[in-house]
Amino acid sequence: MAEGSGDLTADGEREGKYVCKNRDICSKEEEERLERQHFWKVIDAFKYYRIHIQERVSRAERQFRILPERQRALIPNFLPNLAKIRQCIDQNQEVLKAIVRNCIHMFENMEYGEDDEMRKVRPSSTFDMDKLKSTIKQFVRDWSEAGKAERDSCYQPLIDEILKIFPREKCDVSKVRILVPGAGLGRLAWEIARLGYACQGNEWSFFMLFSSHFVLNRCNKVNSLTLYPWIHQFSNNKRSSDQTRPIFFPDVNPQSLPADSDFSMAAGDFQEVYTEPNTWDCVTTCFFIDTAHNVIDYIETIWNILKPDGVWINLGPLLYHFENMANELSIELSYEDVKAAILKYGFQIEVERESVPTTYTENERSMLKYLYDCVFFVARKPARIYYNGDGSHLEENNRKKARNQRYDNTGMAS
């Protein structure tokens, strides 16, 4: 799940991926070089965290000491609170180091070289550090008890719709293939797999991939790890202790899925990884479609990969990721235009709610909160498609009848 952060700076975790400006003439070797470069850039960001945040705390301390003594005497808890923040930074850094430890072996089809622990950590940009801080807050949203309310408002409507469309009492859900693009730290895809569906999450952000791999594969004790996600917020705190309060993760054992579960995470660009037509029963998108340079490309990809009679379930806003990025293509459409494109492509919208209020990695104790008024819809690819002479497609007039025959007498999907 791509970050649609309440911190509107850098739009959260929607990172600027390594880019070959002209893919038509960019060689495979050049693409791999750029990917390796980006890989190590993200590793450096994880390792540079302590230095970067400690500098921010040091600046606060320097400014405090500039104050007249009579004013400093009025806020005796200021320096002790900064000392607590420094301790929290150290704890966060330990977790971040654990996340990137051995991550060079995550991918089977790409070599990134060996990590030298003695290698000097390179300074990271403010942009990359903002993305890392947003990633830390993703642990709140996906894998802590503190994120449950947000998961209930964002993930549960999607899960409820899956259960309605593919009822476990009527079909073999292990044969129902569900894709979750922009899976983030993987909780939504994990929850779907926990219900017995064959589910794959897809993510291209190294920040997210490193973190999801860590929590899904290397965490097996409930609430065994601690992060301090709010120490970076120096404004809009009602109490000093709000800034240093911890969260514990994971709130469930990620390795507690049944042994026969079909759950996986796939790394890579959504449009490049998923090209095989008619392969998925359901595509579930949460805070995702506005990460596109051109959202119509996503519509086309989803149409292509869905099986006939497959469904697309979506919840999210339209905070277009590339809108304010120089030299980047960005097509910003209203929901009205997005919906029109979906319908013209051949989908039928079966469920639609144009006002679903949700938050994203919200600090519940902050004096400033962002609320997204999201759109929720279920769009179905017709069971049978006919094509005009010009190559355009028309849905079968009797689609409803075809869908009613979806389950045969055995209760299995036909």
pTM: 0.87
Over residues 33-90, the pLDDT tens digits come to 888 889 999 999 999 999 999 999 999 999 999 999 999 999 999 999 999 999 999 9
Pairing of strands 280-286, 177-181: parallel
- Residues near 63 by beta carbon (within 8 Å), at least 6 away in sequence: none
pLDDT at 112: 63
CA neighbor of 38 nearest in space, from 213, 269, 206, 268: 206
Distances in Å between the alpha carbon of 240 and those of 57, 221, 231, 397? 14, 30, 10, 63
Task: Annotate 83-121 with b (16+ C-beta within 10 A) or e (fewer).
Answer: ebbbebbeebbebbeebbeebbebeeeeebeeeeeeeee
- The DSSP string of 162-229 is HHHHS-TTTS-GGG-EEEEES-TTSHHHHHHHHTT-EEEEEE--HHHHHHHHHHHHH--STT-EEE-T
Report mean pLDDT in 10-residue bins for the chain, 414 residues.
41 38 61 87 96 98 98 98 98 97 73 62 93 98 98 98 97 97 98 98 97 96 98 98 98 96 96 98 98 98 98 98 94 98 97 97 97 98 67 45 31 34
pLDDT at 120: 77
Domains of the chain: 29-381 (3.40.50.150)
**Nearest 10 degrees: CA dihedral of 314, 353, 363, 248?**
-50
Pairing of strands 372-380, 348-358: antiparallel
pLDDT at 17: 42
pLDDT at 21: 38
Task: Annotate 124-158 with b (16+ C-beta within 10 A) or e (fewer).
Answer: beeebbbbbbbbbbbbbbbbbebbeebbebbbebb
pLDDT at 149: 97
